Structure 1
Amino acid sequence: MAAGLGLAVAASHAAPDPVGLLKVRLGGDSAETRIVLDLAKSANVKIVSDGAADRRIVIHMPGVQAAEELQGPGRGLVKAWMVDEVQGGARLQMDLAADAKVKRRFLLPPADGVEHYRYVVDVAAAPGASLTKASQAGPVDGALRTKFLPARKSALPLKKVVVVDAGHGGKDVGAVGSKGYEKDINLAAAQALKDKLEKTGRYKVVMTRNSDVYIPLETRVRIAQRANADLFISLHSDSGPDTSLKGASVYTLSDKASRRSTKFVSKDDWFMKASLTGDQGVRDILFDLTQRATRNRSAVFAQTLLSHIEDEAPLLRRSHRDAGLVVLLAPDVPAVLLEMGFVNNPEDEARLRDPRSRARLMDSVADAIDDHFGHDMKVAAR
């Protein structure tokens, strides 16, 4: 095979249109991990670095474009991965968690009900001593390495993934104010927060809905899990029996509701699956540790959030509350639900419907997110 580990999986002539990179999938364990690139069409794929020299695999795909920003935590031998644009194509970089290298790679054409191409890369752990010297690397083209590898190796700059959930929607209108429905206020606030976060360049923002549609509560949780979210924030507007009630509050998951989180264990999460099988005592300990860590991170963020929004919105006397709300149930995603105010209170509704007031509130929420991810986690004190 020619130097550079190039594998031509396309016709000899260049495709006139970009090839879509649909998805990156990982499977396997610490002995061997498989990476699958879902491609809309065939493409030219080159292994720039096979991982043996510096624990980073780099794959260059000329003429390929990702449909969206792709990144995520790893699995098995892969610690983290990301896709970026480089030299007229896409580049997949993967940091390895241990000494390993590319073992095999091959193309699967559309077949057996799958309508797209799949480029498969298998990574295997290195036997014996660690392969750390450049001289031990595989036959990688020097020109490719110079052109497509970073000048200095540092941790992949993965963006934090924030899922913004606009409460209610579609047939579920939420609370009713004198000037309209809660669902519309929630969506406007969610879109403002998304814009604010994306402008920083530090976040990948996933919306559970971006229009007036109904999304089931459990689906919203699944969206956060599929996105490998670092934080889930659900935006709501409250309603009370007394129209004099006003103020914002933040909910996190209650201890009593924690066991309901087992229904949201990912089928692909080996650690969480281990928590729910085998010895009852071990199962409970593993699951409780995961759940407790998630609840702690949620509570820490709730406190940070309240400290940032208090200048833009009045707070209820007991502003940090807990409940068994479905959108808070993901056992592996820190989550809060922000009640931004009461839509049946004239002052709160006017504030929430005013674009400038709403923008200032969402600026404060974004600042809280910056603060949260900018500091080391600390134990929450309730």
Structure 2
Amino acid sequence: MDADTRLPIALWAGRDAEQLTAWLRAHPGVEVVCRDGSLVYRQGITDGAPDALQVSDRFHLWQGLSKRVAEVAAAHRGCLPNALPDPEPAPQRPSAGAPSDRADTPTRRHAKRLFEAVHAVTDTGRSINAAARELGLDWRTVRKYAQAATWDECVRRTRPRRPTSLDPYLEYLRLRWEEGEHSAKVLHQELVAKGYCGHYQRVKMAVAPLRRGLPIDTPRERPPSPREVARWITTAPSRRGLHATERLNRLLAHCQELDHTNDLVRQFAAMLDARDADVLPGWLEKLTTSRLPPLASLAKAIREDQAAVVQGITTPFNSGVNEGRITDVKLQKRLMAGRAGVPLLRHRVILIAHLRRRHP
């Protein structure tokens, strides 16, 4: 891509440094090259245009940081449920002397018996396979119970129900049921008049617990995924929604590592906004000493390409126009059902772009 004319120059297949080197040598005079953090491209540009200024693209810098934040969140997956609000009303804890209702279910009693039987054999020093033969169980089952610290860990948890399009109308269904309307067909017609677009069967299933004297099954919110937490942290606070802000604040208050990661991300964002790379060495040192392996790995990668990263922070050069053309190439491939080769794509992308510029 030519950053001045914003037109595509060449398109080729492959990601090897030799091809890029040959192209740059055949087209001398390149002064600035904006690229991602690929070592292949870095080497190709160094060999083909040694005098050109290399700039590490800001978008790819932020993308690399976001991936490391997701890795940090994945390493602290056990903290993620703390982002959810406390249930209202909070369930009462049973007293020490009172028997637990949950422990009286057949599933939990079976898990407790298996846990005690497995540990009675494996705690004597016998192997997993030997214990499996003695107990007549599959070795995977024995391994699961042997590695568990308590029998409660071996009980399969019920997954929370996913939210549906009917959820905003559940309170209305409950009120209408209490008023005496018990026909699912009539209730469905009333919801359709209020804007509900779902099927009658979903309404019928929703009121089924009410027929048995049970409350409507309301959805339970799932803990955020590591990618979702990374998106919360890397989004500017002014652009975060209230829902995400509240959950992120709960999570950061509980997890010191994620709170430290959030501070480091905000510091890098401030560098990009101010186009000030003077504090970059100190920020890299904080990554190294953070005791978070993904961030320490990022610091090492940036130090190896620090000159280009500084240019990416302080100069206005970026690969935005190139990313737009890449999207265009993908669109052309989809339009031709993936059967377009490089020669045809070269004509469709490069020649048509120049023709559009000449004949708008």
The reply to whether TM is greater than 0.5 is no
TM-score range, shorter chain: under 0.3
Higher strand share: 1
TM-score between the two structures when normalised by the length of structure 1: 0.19
TM-score between the two structures when normalised by the length of structure 2: 0.19
Structure number with larger C-alpha Rg? 2
Higher helix share: 2
Higher relative contact order (CA 8 A, sep 6+): 2
